[in-house]
């Protein structure tokens, strides 16, 4: 890292000229995004309309009829991307400043893949109530809130409290984005092998933000059974060391009454979903049911290497872009917010998330194959399909306001 920083400085010619060029620092210099005007400012007439005195007419109209803010400002087209920097990628708790390149990246993904403007907001606090109060005070400027890279279990409470207080969508992408794309891939994998979601027993490695969200979402979608494992083994009712969140998971899952290690729970399982890191033995994968699915999504090192998984599994997916079937959140959140903003939804419901997953799965269509149960992030059909499905679901569920 020290060499990289020296190399970064050498870009400005101050030092380290002998260091090799690093394209990552070159790309990030000056940041990855900017705010640009959507109206001309060529002369005093333009200025008088865009600013004073013309702007006063619009302000007065909004003061008299607050809903007009959605028509005459950017509010209904922009999302706040909010983090406290406590769970950034695979880097962990690196703080708000160090998280900002990731939040900028998230913002440009919103724009590139969904046509949605987004503003990175990195907060210098990890206190739940301070984060909630700050976002509530910022909310008049935004049509939605995307929570990002906030560690569990605080992320659950922050999302819940914000949605209780705000009438705009609040969405923690590390939870729900991963769950949506996982369901889409799982639906297609089941279809490919002549099964339904209800036929499947899954084992999920990880009881953090993504693991909990995937579990609840798959249950709401009708999966047969799920066993969730944390570092101490299967999350079961007989354990006395569970947090409140894990106690809830124990009540909802594990119809088979399993206990013990993750690897013992995998025996005979139809699905393995990894969102925890670590390594799962080849023997555990070999003990899964015939035509099993292995979704090993830890980055950069999957819990099960694809070469190992392919020996035993009918469908293999990872979180990496250099293997087929990448479970990538960018398939979900740009279109999801585009659809929600389009109808000015007050929240994102389970029905809207399931509609998003079904739309993603449907894009694959006739291309369905073991190495194609999920579309590419660069498939231009994805975001429009998700946006349309989410908007329709919002209207059906009564959370749309136009």
| Catalytic (active-site) positions | 51, 106
- H-state helical runs in 30-118: 44-50, 54-64, 69-72, 96-114
C-alpha of 80 from chain center: 14
The answer to whether 149 is annotated as binding is yes
Is 328 marked as binding a ligand?
yes
Question: Could you tell me the end-to-end alpha-carbon distance of the chain, in angstroms, rounded to an integer?
Answer: 50
Q: What is the DSSP string of 7-19?
A: HHHHTTTSS-TTS
Cβ atoms < 10 Å from Cβ of 163 = 18
For residue 319, the Cα-to-chain-centroid distance in whole angstroms is: 12
- Estimate the share of the chain in helix, then strand, then coil, as percent rounded to the nearest 5: 50, 15, 40
19 known ligand binder: no
Starting from the edge strand earliest in sequence, which strands make up the sheet with 292-296, in order? 233-234, 225-230, 201-205, 271-274, 292-296, 313-318
Q: Is 7 known to sit in a ligand binding site?
A: no
Q: Cβ(226)–Cβ(234) under 8 Å?
A: no
Taking CA 211 as the corner, what is the angle to CA 329 and CA 363, rounded to the nearest 5 degrees? 35
Take residue 110 and report the two structure tokens written for it: 């919103």
Helix (H, G, I), strand (E, B) or coil at 120: strand
Cα–Cα distance for residue pair 263/234, rounded to 1 Å: 9
Q: With CA atoms as reference, report the closest residue to 243 among 150, 156, 175, 174.
A: 156
Neighbours of 157 (CB within 10 A): 17
Residue 299, marked binder: yes
> Where is the binding site, in residues?
148-149, 174, 299, 328
> Where is the binding site for a divalent metal cation, in residues?
148-149, 174
């Amino acid at each position: 890292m020290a060499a990289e920083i020296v190399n970064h400085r050498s870009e400005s010619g101050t030092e380290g000229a002998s260091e090799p060029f690093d394209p990552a620092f070159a790309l990030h210099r000056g940041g990855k995004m900017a705010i640009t005007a959507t109206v001309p400012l060529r002369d005093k007439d333009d200025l008088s309309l865009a600013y004073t005195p013309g702007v006063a007419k619009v302000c007065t109209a909004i003061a008299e009829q607050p809903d007009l803010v959605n028509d005459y400002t950017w509010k209904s087209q922009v999302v706040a991307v909010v983090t406290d920097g406590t769970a950034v990628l695979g880097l962990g708790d690196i703080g708000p400043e160090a998280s900002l390149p990731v939040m900028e990246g998230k913002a440009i993904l919103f724009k590139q893949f969904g046509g949605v403007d987004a503003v990175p907001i990195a907060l210098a606090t990890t206190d739940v109530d301070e984060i909630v109060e700050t976002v509530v005070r910022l909310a008049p400027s935004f049509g939605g809130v995307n929570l990002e890279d906030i560690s569990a279990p605080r992320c659950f409470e922050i999302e819940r409290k914000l949605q209780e207080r705000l009438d705009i969508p609040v969405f923690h992408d590390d939870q729900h984005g991963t769950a949506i794309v996982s369901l889409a891939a799982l639906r297609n994998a089941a279809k490919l092998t002549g099964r339904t979601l209800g036929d499947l027993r899954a084992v999920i490695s990880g009881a953090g933000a993504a693991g909990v969200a995937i579990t609840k979402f798959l249950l709401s979608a009708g999966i047969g059974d799920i066993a969730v494992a944390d570092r101490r083994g299967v999350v079961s009712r007989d354990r006395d060391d569970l947090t409140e969140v894990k106690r809830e998971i124990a009540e909802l899952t594990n119809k088979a009454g399993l206990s013990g290690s993750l690897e013992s729970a995998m025996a005979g399982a139809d699905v393995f979903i990894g969102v925890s890191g670590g390594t799962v033995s080849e023997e555990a994968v070999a003990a899964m049911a015939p035509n099993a699915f292995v979704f090993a999504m830890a980055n950069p090192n999957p819990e099960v290497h694809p070469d190992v998984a392919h020996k035993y599994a009918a469908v293999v997916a990872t979180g990496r872009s250099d293997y087929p079937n990448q479970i990538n959140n960018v398939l979900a959140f740009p279109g999801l917010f585009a659809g929600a903003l389009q109808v000015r939804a007050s929240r994102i419901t389970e029905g809207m998330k399931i509609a998003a997953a079904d739309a993603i799965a449907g894009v694959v269509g006739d291309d369905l194959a073991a190495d194609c149960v999920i579309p590419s992030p660069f498939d231009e059909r994805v975001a429009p399909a998700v946006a349309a499905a989410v908007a329709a679901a919002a209207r059906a569920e009564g959370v749309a306001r136009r």
